[in-house]
Amino acid sequence: MASCTKNNSRCVLLQPSMCIAMGPGEDMFDSTQIVGRMMYQKAKELYASASQEVTGPLAAAHQWVNMTDVTVWLNSTHAAKTCKPALGYSFAAGTIDGVGSLNFTQGTTVGDPFWDIIRDQILGKPSEELKECHKPKPILLPTGMMSKPHPWHPEIVDVQIITLGSFAITAIPGEFTTMSGRRLRQAVQEEFAAYGMPNMTVVISGLCNVYTHYITTYEEYQVK
């Protein structure tokens, strides 16, 4: 299997070639059927071998949140505030198995004058306040400022949680990195424990209700 470089989303196998995940089948339809069947078989296996019955009351909570105006306390004395959304240069690089078609690279923390000029002329120049808020990410698309023909990025999003006994599902409108998902799950478990429910099993269900793009940790954001 070819090794891939994180910077340009490409793999090297004798000569440079794009690394695209095509799936196990002959085409996308065959691959979808194969993957779906494997997921079903594993789910059926887990269901048949389950050793703990989930019992208890059913509860649910739902909330709309304006993600452009949230105050986050970093510690007892310092707080930060969210702002309008924007997509950075690394977004245009795509992924290892879905590379972008232009010269963007992953992990970009510095903008490009050429693309900045094109962006400013076509989409409008992002405000200095927006640039400062999104640092160190250089802004490629100021989606929070774009509204034609419709808003390009959701600002008010809904989050919800459903519990059945000791089992909780959190519905979040975004795609998590592995570590950000772990931290959210731990934070939710700790919150349950603070209210006298220390043995809750928490499942993160992403891509729910609306799509807000990727969710990362602070450390990942600094380099991605």
Q: Minimal CA–CA distance to 82: which of 60, 101, 67?
A: 67
**pLDDT band at residue 2 under the 50/70/90 scheme:** very low
CA angle 38, 43, 48 (to 5 degrees): 125
Regarding pTM above 0.75, the answer is: yes
Q: Does residue 126 register a pLDDT over 70?
A: yes
Q: What pLDDT does residue 104 have?
A: 87
The answer for residues whose C-beta is within 8 angstroms of residue 207's C-beta and 6 or more apart is 173, 174, 175
**pLDDT band at residue 15 under the 50/70/90 scheme:** very low
Cα separation, 183 vs 5, in Å, equals 27
Report yes or no: 193 and 153 within 8 Å, Cβ to Cβ. no
Give 127-156 pLDDT, tens digit per residue.
999 999 999 999 999 999 999 999 999 999
Q: What is the mean pLDDT of residues 159-186?
A: 97
**pLDDT band at residue 7 under the 50/70/90 scheme:** low
The residue among 1 and 106 whose pLDDT is bigger is 106
* 175 labelled binding-site residue: yes
3-state secondary structure of 87: strand
* 40 labelled binding-site residue: no
The answer for residues whose C-beta is within 8 angstroms of residue 100's C-beta and 6 or more apart is 9, 92, 93, 94
Q: What is the mean pLDDT of residues 80-104?
A: 86
**pLDDT band at residue 10 under the 50/70/90 scheme:** low
